[in-house]
Amino acid sequence: MRFVLVPGLTDDQADIDSIATFAASLGTVQRVEVLPFHQMGRYKWEKLGLDYTLNDAVAPTVELTERVLDQFRSRGLTAY
């Protein structure tokens, strides 16, 4: 499973706990790949003439990323 971590958008602790609990309950999720947000794809939106709504989004800190990884791991999931 992949989880995109965007500070201020997908970093709510309670929401992540719910997602981790659900993923663990499925019994088929072998690992969770936490993908820290970055701005590297912004140019693609510009090339397509689309409105890029995440201009002000920042990359998550190492501490936030570790917290989220730990939340998934606490449910017995392999997270990286």
How would you write 15-45 as a 3-class SS string? Answer: HHHHHHHHHHHHCCCCEEEEEECCCCCHHHH
Structural domain boundaries in the chain = 2-79
Q: Would you write out the chain's pLDDT as a tens digit for each of its 80 residues?
A: 999 999 999 999 999 999 999 999 999 999 999 999 999 999 999 999 999 999 999 999 999 999 999 999 999 999 99
Phi, psi dihedrals of residue 5, rounded to the nearest 5°: -100, 110
The β-bridge partners of 34 are 3
